[in-house]
Amino acid sequence: MTQRKGSDYAGLSVAIITPLTDDRLDVQRLREQVEFQIAAGTRCIVPVGTTGESPTLSHEEHERVISEVVQIAAGRVKVMAGTGSNSTAEALRLTRWAAKEGADASLQVAPYYNKPTQEGFYQHFKAIAEDVDLPICVYNIPGRTGKNIEPETIARLAEIPNITMVKEATGSLDQCSQILNTTDLTVLSGDDSLTIPMMSIGAEGVISVAGNIVPRDMVAMVQAALDGDFAAARQWHHKLFPLCRDMLGLSTNPIPVKTAMRLLGRDAGELRLPLTPLSPQEEQKLRNTLRNYGLEC
């Protein structure tokens, strides 16, 4: 297979939560998370993405999380900092900060709410990529942002040298196929439960939510697929599927994953409004899913 631009990020990346205690960043719990992921063999840690509640962090908090994760990781694992925004100026500010602090790459979500044209998407990502010398992962998640970055636009972006990856969260294997057919970008799954279908057509890994809970199992599944052992990968997929489904389907991410971490004795702190806790019925369903998986809670 032809080497793709971002293949050094193949494997498991984990979009970590932001631990909040008394509505403030809990650095000790953040450190515990990073160490937990490194010990599990996670390839890359992704702070302050959707799972990290980036929309409700202040600029100062956002920057501090990036700095702390880079310092804790200390080169032992890659750090892809979430630095996207619906404001190009804000995305530039955050990406410059990540580069200055020593992040390895930047995760750039599609501008949300203001719903740019395809030309607007192109000019937004182009401005960031040409300003900051970091590998860029374009994050396409129309269910959150309200608009799809079309494959033709991604093909244009792929011509920019340091745009090297796409986090594909459209749920469309056709779109994934078109990106793989028309670009040399590395595609990373943005949906845990679609990781193996996407890897079967050429994606190289996942930026995972469920990896917060069972990173070793996610590593095993993704590595099996990278090794071409899709029989083993399918076994892992079917074991992981109920857990992956509930992490993203039971309620809005990161409500279920933060709840699961608390139930498993790895308290991730509270949620910040407008996110609210699971109902008692939802929490019991999540507890049952964790127990059925074989986790003690």
What CATH number corresponds to the domain at position 95?
3.20.20.70
Structure tokens at 160: 């920019």
Locate 55 and state its tokens: 């929309």
> How much is the pLDDT for 265?
95
Torsion angle, alpha carbons of 194, 191, 255, 147, to 10:
-130
Average pLDDT, the chain: 97
Specify if 199 maps to a domain.
yes
| pLDDT value of position 1 | 53
Identify whether 236 is part of a domain: no
Residue 218: CB partners within 8 Å, gap ≥ 6? 12, 14, 192, 206, 208, 210, 211, 240
| Per-residue pLDDT at 297 | 84
With respect to residue 238, please indicate whether it lies within any of the assigned structural domains: no
The answer as to whether 86 is a domain residue is yes
Residues 6+ positions from 3 with CB-CB distance below 8 Å: none
The parent domain of residue 139 ranges over 7-229
90 lies in a domain?
Answer: yes
Residue 245 domain flag: no
- Predicted confidence at residue 153, as pLDDT, reads 98
Report whether 226 contacts 41 (CB < 8 A): no
Q: What DSSP designation does 212 have?
A: G
The phi, psi pair for 243, rounded to 5°, reads: -70, -45
**26: Cβ–Cβ under 8 A, 6 or more apart, which residues?**
19, 20, 269
Give catalytic residues, as residue numbers: 139, 167
Domain count, the chain: 1
Predicted local confidence at residue 19, as pLDDT: 97
Tell me the three state secondary structure of residue 252.
coil
- Smallest Cα–Cα separation from 210: which of 138, 295, 147, 132? 295
pLDDT tens digit sequence for 83-136: 999 999 999 999 999 999 999 999 999 999 999 999 999 999 999 999 999 999
Report pLDDT for 45.
98
Q: Which residues of the chain have pLDDT under 70?
A: 1-2
- So what's the pLDDT on residue 39? 98
Evaluate the CA torsion angle 205, 35, 18, 266 in order and state its sign: positive
Residue 262 inside a domain? The answer is: no
Is 155 within the bounds of a domain?
Answer: yes
Look up residue 210 and give its DSSP letter: G
